Structures are given as structure tokens and as C-alpha cells.
């Protein structure tokens, strides 16, 4: 089955496009990967890190409104987000390297 990513609560066409760049093409694939791996892949394929984008994904996978994340839960998600960002977002890539990585031509050694 290939259910659109935009069928997941809170996720629209822009998220679907970002997922496509990360080679994630269905809601089923995204659910199987989970929020952390999905977000890591988004960062590795050129998406800029943004905490709201991460917790929107987490809330959506739980079927909750994006703004339902509060208090201690939000603090815990921030810790997870920071860890993903630190391991997956490479500020050292040039713009050309980022584009080549997005289209699958070059993958920078880690």
C-alpha cells in the first residue's frame, strides 16, 4: 500500500516533498522508520533543522495536533531533536555538495 505522507495528521505537501528527497514515499514507510530516523534522513538530504518541524512529525505519528506538545514532553523532545541535529545535520557541506547529495550524486563520508 502507498498511502500519501500528507495523510498523516499535521503533514502537508511541503513535508511530503522533503520526504521524497529523503527517499521516503509513503505514510507506511514513514511510520516504519519512525520520527527520529525520518527526521535524520530529512536533515541528511538538505532540510534545515527546525524544532517545530520535528515535533510536528512526532505529534502527527501519534495522531495528535501539532500544538499538543507541551511541558516536560516538549523538553524531552527537544533533547531528542538536538541529538538528531548534532548527528545528522552537516553544516560543513557546501551548497553544491548539499544539492548533489539531495539528488544522490555525492554522499559525504562520515
Question: What domain range is 70 assigned to?
Answer: 5-102
Q: 64 lies in a domain?
A: yes
Q: 109 lies in a domain?
A: no
Q: What is the pLDDT of residues 30-84, one digit of tens each?
A: 999 999 999 999 999 989 899 999 999 999 999 999 999 899 999 999 999 999 9
Q: 61 lies in a domain?
A: yes
Q: Helix, strand, coil: what percent of the chain each, to 5?
A: 65, 0, 35
Q: 63 lies in a domain?
A: yes
Residue 86: pLDDT band (50, 70, 90) is confident
Q: What local confidence, expressed as pLDDT, does residue 105 receive?
A: 63
15/30 Cα distance (integer angstroms): 11
pTM: 0.79
Total tally of structural domains belonging to the chain: 1
Q: 89 lies in a domain?
A: yes
Q: What local confidence, expressed as pLDDT, does residue 95 receive?
A: 61
Mean pLDDT of 4-12: 96
95/26 Cα distance (integer angstroms): 28
Question: All 3 cell numbers of residue 64?
Answer: 495528535
What is the sign, positive or negative, of the torsion defined by CA atoms of 23, 34, 95, 17?
positive
Domain CATH code at residue 13 = 1.10.150.20
Q: What local confidence, expressed as pLDDT, does residue 110 receive?
A: 45
Amino acid at each position: 500500500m502507498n498511502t500519501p505522507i500528507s495523510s498523516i495528521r499535521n503533514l502537508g505537501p511541503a513535508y511530503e516533498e522533503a520526504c521524497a528527497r529523503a527517499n521516503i514515499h509513503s505514510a507506511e514507510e514513514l511510520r516504519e522508520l519512525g520520527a527520529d530516523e525520518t527526521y535524520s534522513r530529512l536533515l541528511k538530504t538538505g532540510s534545515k533543522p527546525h524544532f517545530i518541524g520535528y515535533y510536528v512529525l512526532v505529534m502527527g505519528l501519534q495522531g495528535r495536533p501539532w500544538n499538543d506538545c507541551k511541558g516536560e514532553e516538549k523538553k524531552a523532545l527537544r533533547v531528542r531533536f538536538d541529538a538528531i541535529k548534532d548527528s545528522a545535520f552537516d553544516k560543513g557541506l557546501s551548497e553544491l555538495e548539499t544539492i548533489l547529495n539531495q539528488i544522490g550524486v555525492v554522499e559525504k563520508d562520515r
